[in-house]
Structure 1
Amino acid sequence: MAVAEESHFGRAAARLGTAQPPLSQRIQRLERELGVRLFERTSRHVTITRGGTLLLDEARRLLAQSDALMATARRIRDGENGLLRAALPPDMAGETVAAILAEFQQRHAGVELELHELSTAEQLARFASHDLDVGLIHHPCDVSGLELGPVLRREVGVLLPRRAAAAELEDVALADLAGYDLVLFPRASAPALYDDVLTTCARNGYAPAAVRHGQGASFVRGLILSANSVAFSPRDTHLADTALQDPDTAWRPLTGTPLAWRHSVAWPQGRSDAAVSAFAEATTQALWNTAAVSSDLPRHPIHLRPAAEYWV
Structure 2
Amino acid sequence: MDLIRHLECFVAVAEESHFGRAAERLGMAQPPLSQRIQRLERELGVRLFERTSRQVTITKGGSLLLSEARELLARSEALRATARRVRDGESGLLRAGLPPDVAGEAVAAILAEFRREHPGVEVELHELSTAQQLAQLAAHDLDVGLIHHPCDVTGLELGPVLRRELGVLLPRDATAAALSEVPLASLSGYELILFPRAAAPALHDDVLTTCARNGFTPAAVRHGQGASFVRGLILSSQAVALSPRDAQGPAVAAGDAEVVWRPLAGAPLAWRQSVAWPQGRSDTAVGAFAEAATRALLDTAAVSPDVPARAVHLRPAAEFWV
Q: TM-score range by the shorter chain?
A: 0.7 to 0.9
Structure 1 residue 299 corresponds to structure 2 residue 299: no
1:253-264 to structure 2, matched below 5 A, reads 253-264=263-274
One-letter code aligned to 1:187: R
Distance across 2 between alignment mates of 1:241 and 1:235:
13
Distance across 2 between alignment mates of 1:294 and 1:192:
22
Alignment partner, residue 193 of structure 2: 183
Structure-2 change in CA distance of 1:240 and 1:138 (3 Å): farther
Alignment partner, residue 173 of structure 1: 183
Structure whose CA Rg is larger:
2
Q: What is the SS of the residue equivalent to 1:170?
A: coil
Once the two structures are TM-superposed, the CA of residue 187 in structure 1 deviates from its matched residue by 0.3
Distance across 1 between alignment mates of 2:250 and 2:79:
42
Match for 2:219 among 193, 204, 209? Answer: 209
Asked if the contact 1:175–1:206 (Cα under 8 Å) also holds between the matched residues in 2, the reply is yes
Asked if the contact 2:203–2:316 (Cα under 8 Å) also holds between the matched residues in 1, the reply is no
Alignment partner, residue 134 of structure 2: 124
Asked if the contact 1:72–1:82 (Cα under 8 Å) also holds between the matched residues in 2, the reply is no
Per-residue deviation, residues 150-186 of structure 1 (Å, max 9, x unmatched): 0000111000000100000001000010000000000
Q: What is the SS of the residue equivalent to 1:245?
A: coil
- How many pairs align? 244
Match for 2:281 among 271, 287, 291? Answer: 271
Distance across 2 between alignment mates of 1:182 and 1:300:
32
Structure-2 change in CA distance of 1:191 and 1:311 (3 Å): closer
One-letter code aligned to 1:233: S
% identical equivalent positions: 69
Alignment partner, residue 208 of structure 2: 198
Match for 2:163 among 145, 148, 153? Answer: 153
Distance across 1 between alignment mates of 2:164 and 2:177:
21
Per-residue deviation, residues 112-159 of structure 1 (Å, max 9, x unmatched): 111110000000000111100000000100000000000000111000
Alignment partner, residue 173 of structure 2: 163
Once the two structures are TM-superposed, the CA of residue 257 in structure 1 deviates from its matched residue by 0.3
Once the two structures are TM-superposed, the CA of residue 108 in structure 1 deviates from its matched residue by 1.6
Moved runs in structure 1, 4+ residues, more than 3 A? 71-75, 77-80
Query: RMSD of aligned C-alpha atoms?
Result: 2.2
Asked if the contact 1:135–1:267 (Cα under 8 Å) also holds between the matched residues in 2, the reply is yes
Once the two structures are TM-superposed, the CA of residue 239 in structure 1 deviates from its matched residue by 2.8
Asked if the contact 2:248–2:261 (Cα under 8 Å) also holds between the matched residues in 1, the reply is no
Alignment partner, residue 287 of structure 1: 297
Distance across 1 between alignment mates of 2:85 and 2:190:
60
Structure-2 change in CA distance of 1:73 and 1:226 (3 Å): farther
TM-score (normalizing by structure 1): 0.74
Q: Which runs of 5+ in 1 are unaligned?
A: 1-16, 20-70
Q: What is the SS of the residue equivalent to 1:95?
A: helix
Distance across 2 between alignment mates of 1:300 and 1:100:
22
Structure 1 residue 77 corresponds to structure 2 residue 84: yes
Structure-2 change in CA distance of 1:244 and 1:300 (3 Å): farther
Distance across 1 between alignment mates of 2:159 and 2:79:
27
Structure 1 residue 103 corresponds to structure 2 residue 113: yes
1:6-25 to structure 2, matched below 5 A, reads none
Distance across 1 between alignment mates of 2:79 and 2:174:
57
TM-score (normalizing by structure 2): 0.71
One-letter code aligned to 1:299: R
Distance across 1 between alignment mates of 2:313 and 2:231:
30
Asked if the contact 2:159–2:275 (Cα under 8 Å) also holds between the matched residues in 1, the reply is yes
Q: What is the SS of the residue equivalent to 1:283?
A: helix
Once the two structures are TM-superposed, the CA of residue 311 in structure 1 deviates from its matched residue by 4.6
Structure-2 change in CA distance of 1:307 and 1:126 (3 Å): farther
